[in-house]
Chain A
Amino acid sequence: MIALTDQPIEPRRAELVRSAASEGAGAIVTFEGIVRGESRGKRVTHLFYEAFPEMALPEMERIAAETRKRWLLQALVLVHRTGKVEAGETSVLIAVASDHRAEAFDACRFIIDSVKTTVPIWKREHYEDGAVWIEAHA
């Protein structure tokens, strides 16, 4: 399951993680990115994620394929929010299932690191007194 969504992930969290389960999977590792309520000493009211969907989704699929080449996985779930996301909400959810835990931990880490460097989604941080684009290496 690989998707972009403009709807909150939390109500579907249990279902999404559980969808990675199978008899062969001895481990599911999950990662959730949460919007922090504070950044650069300022209170963050919300983020706005702008995506290039026609490229972001194929790029997420490419990362999934690359991950499956490196680790033997039973399942891979990757869901990223777009649009307005409030502080405290989940911006990205990853669930990886494998026979044993080591592969799932490593694969999960690889996926989030790749997502942050190659998936064309940009983040604008909104404060009480303005907003700025947060670009990689910032």
Chain B
Amino acid sequence: MVHVRLFASLREAAGQAEIELPWDNVSAAKGVFEELIRRFPALERMRPVTLVAVNEVYGNWETPVAPGDRIAFFPPVSGGSR
């Protein structure tokens, strides 16, 4: 299994904050997101702005994932005020 967390507008698009996915030989974060899109098609349009973190460290679509990893997808951050 991999543990997926979604935040902010991605969480709302999926309607879920946390999802457990079977690992199933997914080799990179990209594959995990594609599986999410199959389950939550509304995530498709978020793909161009989506950021990736694996085990709480910034990664990218090619970052390898292994069983037990914690993978987070979220939009660009907006901490603080402008």
**Knowing A50-B8, A55-B53 touch, does A133 contact B77 (C-beta < 8 A)?**
no
Instruction: Name the prevailing secondary structure of the A interface residues.
Output: mixed
**Knowing A52-B5, A55-B72 touch, does A120 contact B53 (C-beta < 8 A)?**
yes
A residues sitting closer than 8 Å to B (CB atoms) are 33-36, 49-50, 52, 54-56, 58, 80, 91-92, 112, 115-124, 133-138
Please name all residues of chain A whose beta carbon is closer than 8 Å to the beta carbon of B80 when the two chains form the complex.
Answer: 33, 80, 91-92, 112, 115-116, 121
**Knowing A120-B53, A122-B7 touch, does A52 contact B81 (C-beta < 8 A)?**
no
Q: How far is the CA of A76 from the CA of B18 in the complex (A)?
A: 34
Q: How far is the CA of A40 from the CA of B58 in the complex (A)?
A: 31
Query: Do B81 and A135 touch across chains, with their CB atoms under 8 A apart?
Result: no
